[in-house]
Structure formats: structure tokens, C-alpha cells
Amino acid sequence: MHRVVVTGWGVVSPIGNSAQAYWDGCARGASGLAAPTLAPPGELSQKVVAEVKGFHPREHFTERELAFMDRVAQLGVVAARAAIAQSGLSFGEGLAERTATIIGTAVGGQTTQDENYVKLYKEGARRLPPFAIPRLMVNAATSQISMHCGLKGPAFTVASACASSTHAVGLAFHMVRSGAIACAVTGGAEASIAFGPLKVWEAMRIMAPDACRPFSLGRKGMVLGEGAALVVLEPLEDASRRGAEILGEIVGFGMSADAKDITNPDEGGMTRAIESALADAHLEPHDIDYVNAHGTGTSANDETETRALKRAFGAHAQKLAISSTKSMIGHSLGASGALELVATLMGMREGVAPPTIGYLGPDPACDLDCVPNAARPMRIDAALSNSFAFGGLNAVLAVRRFAK
Amino acid sequence: MANVTADVIAIIASKVRGERPSIRLTDNLEDLGLESLDAVEMIFELEEKFDITIPYNANDSRTEFATVGDVVRAVTSLVDGKA
């Protein structure tokens, strides 16, 4: 069994298009929410979304490449390149074949699908552009990352809705830990801000019109986001041998299924995933200082997650700092777990718990310390990152500040 | 008004599982066994039936639509507002 460390990270997010810019945004409690530009704002009950800003595809790709790439793949490849560049790895013969590409994407190329259906149903097109399928297939981001970065080992997409990239990183972690692979480029990508996807979210009646306020009194639900976060994982001994900078350590991964309801979250399922991650990490509840919550800002999730944390942590729950990055970057579905993992690792490294912004006041049903409105300097030695998907699919990662 | 009430009750009744002899305006939706998704479906069917838009958010509207009468009143006022 290897110790598994993070040696690179890359981020494209609504509050910054590099890992450092993203962290700076988290640390100052920046909001990435604004009126949509990727969909007509007037026809939506959601007046805000969390779009990636200032992203210019032609700065990263040729026209020929872009013909085959939906926005979700573009964001994924840019984040993967940044993560690999930071790791200092080059994938020559040998390592490339033993490096996995495991990416979480919940819904894939929704913009491509939406645009094609508008042409077909609304504009009465008789034929559609030829490359819609390779753009919209849910594995497209994984495939494009493997192609653009030359990664030839095991590669697949994990789709478990809002937990996709936490499941992806967890699987990659277990594969590196066991020695099944020598390296993994893993994380998540999502870009589903388009009129059709926003309307079907609107129909669920769980979207906030104006702001995402997890754990707060007066919260009104989710805000849809987009982005990508990728990390490079490798065994500690390999990273040390080549003198790589070690950004953090992944120590445990837990999963569970609620096996109950297709949308309502379940305290029992959440609790089992948390306990399973702690057991996998050989950590006790009192070892954990910080939890990056799933924290969607819906009434149901935040209450249920609070109860699950109390059940898993007992009295120690009151001592935890718990925050929701979604308050700043919205809910980027398949990318959210990886974005939140990076926020957790960076917070640990900087000695800062990122905040839950938009907090209006305490809700008695969410009575844990959610680091309201301002980041908090604190020592974080061990932390969890929670992801709890629609459909009751739960995934939790446990991380530690790296120390030899 | 009478028609609206009957239509609203019929839509609510279609969400109730099992046998239910009658639905009264004072009945609580939760007591009738309507879960959050049933409520979302009910709102959608009411909007379709009456061609109205009901500003319902599952995160904060539980008290606003507590009883069958609350739903009838909300729908009636939206239908009247349209006319």
C-alpha cells in the first residue's frame, strides 16, 4: 500500500481560472454568481448562475480541435494541462501507460445537445452538424484529456450526478494506493449552463432565484455552476524521489447508497459514507478539523447533512468548521466534488478554512459552525470533503496536511 | 371559484396514495401524505391546467401551501388576476 499525494492541481472556476486565482477567491469570500450570459436571463426563475468568466477557447485550442469539443471538454483539458504542468511530470513511454484518467462528469455536453435540438425542433433544420455525438457523449472530457495530455492507462468517466468527481478521485486514489497504476490525472468537469438544462432544473422547484446560502436561515436552494478541477495523484515515494512539491495527501475514501429516494437525501446514507471514509483513512472523528460540506443550499440537503455530521462525529461535530464552497461557485454537478477537494487541500496548506458566504443568520436545523461569510485562519491537519448525489449516491474523501 | 376548487381537489386527490373518501379544504397536504415531489408535481399540473405560474420554491413554501384551502386560494387569485 502506497501513501498517495497530490502533486498538481488545475482549476477553471466561476471565481478564477487558475488554482491560485480560485483559492484567492475562496479566501476572500468572492461570489461567482451573476446573471447568465449563456442562456436568456429573462425566461428563467433563476436570476443568477455561476459561469466561468473570461474563458477564451481559442487561446487554448485550434479551430479543428474545437469542432470536437463541447465547453465541458474545453474546461477539463485546460484544468488537466495546468495540473500536469504543476506536477512537473512528463508522460513519456512507460509512465503514460501506467497513468489513469478518471474524470467525474454528471451530464456532459449539454450545450451541444441544447444547440442541436434548437436547430432541429425550433428552426426546423433537416440535418445537424456531424460532430455532435463526440462533443456531447458523457465520456468526452475524459477522452479529450487523455488525448491532449497523452495519458494511455485506464481511462473512464464516472457519472454519479453531484458526487461524480468525488467518486472519480476516490477510485483513482484507491488505484494508486494499491499499486494498480503509477499515477492518476483525476477530478471533474461540467458545463451545463444552457437554456434547456436550466429550465429542467427550474422545474424541480429547488433553485434559488438570487443567491446560494447554504446552512443559512432563509436559504432558497441551489444555483447552477460550471467548471473543472483536476489533480495529479502519485505514490509518495515517487513524488519524493523526483523532488516534487507535495501539495497534500489523500488518506481515505468512503461510499454508500441511500437505497431510499431518488431526490430526498438520507441521513443514514450520508453518515455511512462519512464513517467509511474515516475508517479507510484510519482516522478517528476527533482527528478531523474541517469538513467541506456538500452544502447545496436546499432546505433538505443542509438539514440532513447537519444531522449526518452530528451522527458521525458525536460531540466533536460542535468543534468542526464546516463550510460550503457552493456558496461562492454554485453547484457545478459533476465538477463540484473536485473543486471542493482542491479548496479543502488549499485551505489546509494555507491554514485557512474557506467561508460559507451569503449567510443571513442561524437556522436551528443547521446549528453547526459553517464559517459564515468570512474565511477563518485555523490549523487544519485533517479534513473531509463530502458529496451527496441525487439518487442517493454518496462519496466522501479524507485528506491530511502533508507531513513526512 | 367552485370549478377551481373542484379541479384543485381532483389534482390533489390524484397525488394521494391509497383510498381516501373525501378531501376537505382544511386538510393539511402533509397529513394527506403528499411528499415534496408530490407537491412539485401538483404545482406543475395546476399551472398546466389553469395556464398560470405559481411562484413555488420547495425550499421555502411549505407553510405557504400548508392546506388544500391554501392551494385553492392561491390558484383562485392567480386565475382571477389573469382574467
User: How far is residue A33's CA from residue A25's CA, in Å, rounded to a whole number?
Assistant: 12
Confidence class for position B2, pLDDT limits 50, 70, 90: low
Residues of A annotated as catalytic are: 162, 294, 331
* Chain B partners within 8 Å of A218 (Cβ): 60
* Chain B partners within 8 Å of A300 (Cβ): 36, 58-59
pLDDT for A101 equals: 98
> Is the Cβ pair A264, B57 closer than 8 Å?
no
Question: Do residues A236 and A403 make contact, with C-beta atoms less than 8 angstroms apart?
Answer: no
CB contact B44 to A (< 8 Å): yes
pLDDT for B1 equals: 55
Domains in chain B with CATH codes: 2-82 (1.10.1200.10)
Residues with pLDDT less than 50, chain A: none
pLDDT for B61 equals: 54
* Chain A partners within 8 Å of B43 (Cβ): 205
pLDDT for A236 equals: 98
> Is pLDDT above 80 for B21?
no
CB contact B35 to A (< 8 Å): yes
pLDDT for B16 equals: 87
ipTM summary value: 0.83
CB contact B43 to A (< 8 Å): yes
CB contact A205 to B (< 8 Å): yes
Which superfamily, per CATH, for A4-241? Thiolase/Chalcone synthase (3.40.47.10)
A220 → closest Cβ in B37, B43, B57: B57
Instruction: List, for residues A94-151, the tens digit of each pLDDT value.
Output: 999 999 999 999 999 999 999 999 999 999 999 999 999 999 999 999 999 999 999 9
A4-241 and A252-400 share one CATH topology? yes
For residue A172 the three cell numbers come to: 483513482
Instruction: Give the mutation candidate from B38, B53, B59, B61 for the A interface (greatest A CB count, under 10 A).
Output: B59
* Chain B partners within 8 Å of A299 (Cβ): 58-60
Domain ranges of chain A: 4-241, 252-400
- Minimum Cα–Cα distance from A301: chain B residue: B59
Asked which of A241-250, A381-390, B4-13, B54-63 is least confident by mean pLDDT, the reply is B54-63
Which superfamily, per CATH, for A252-400? Thiolase/Chalcone synthase (3.40.47.10)
CB contact A52 to B (< 8 Å): no
Higher-pLDDT residue of A388, B57: A388
Q: Which residues have a Cβ under 8 Å from the Cβ of A126 and sit 6 or more positions away?
A: none
Instruction: Give the mutation candidate from A205, A207, A296, A303 for the B interface (greatest B CB count, under 10 A).
Output: A205
pLDDT for B60 equals: 74
Q: Give the pairing of strands A248-257 and A99-104.
A: unpaired
Higher-pLDDT residue of A330, B22: A330
